[in-house]
Amino acid sequence: MTEVIKPKMMDYRRHLIVCIGERCSPNGEGQALYDQLSNKFKQAGLNTGDLRVKRSRATCFGTCKSGPLICVQPDGVWYYDVTSEKLDRIIAEHFLGGVPVADYIYHQVLETTQ
């Protein structure tokens, strides 16, 4: 019987998922945006420590319009038409400042109280 090895992952504050699907960004804009994240996170100090942001790609979010689209978890914030410049503002205001950029949000999970 083969032993299953439990994966390991560094701690992170937020998880940013970029849609790289062809319907969302037919000219590869989503992948290009994803490719910029490593450097942008390093410059902002989001690649290590308490504010670390993990990044991933997805091929479809099921809302195939106005991409590139990004989703920020656990915040439940979805941004549309994200450019490099808009990403800089999202990093500064949302990831570092803690306030989502309302101008770019197309969906946000509703707060629930229990």
pTM: 0.89
Residue 8 located in a structural domain: no
Residue 82 located in a structural domain: yes
Residue 3 located in a structural domain: no
- How does pLDDT run along the chain (114 residues), one tens digit per residue? 889 999 998 999 999 999 999 988 889 999 999 999 999 999 999 999 999 999 999 999 888 888 999 999 999 999 999 999 999 999 999 999 999 999 999 999 977 555
H or E element at residue 22: none
Residue 4 located in a structural domain: no
Q: Is 30 helix (H, G, I), strand (E, B) or coil?
A: helix
Residue 7 located in a structural domain: no
Residue 81 located in a structural domain: yes
- In sequence order, the 6+-apart residues with CB closer than 8 A to the CB of 91 are 40, 41, 44, 46
- Domains identified in the chain, total number: 1
Predicted confidence at residue 114, as pLDDT, reads 56
Predicted confidence at residue 24, as pLDDT, reads 85
Tokens of 77: 């914030």
Residue 87 located in a structural domain: yes
Residue 50's domain comprises 14-108
CATH of the domain at 74: 3.40.30.10
Residue 77 located in a structural domain: yes
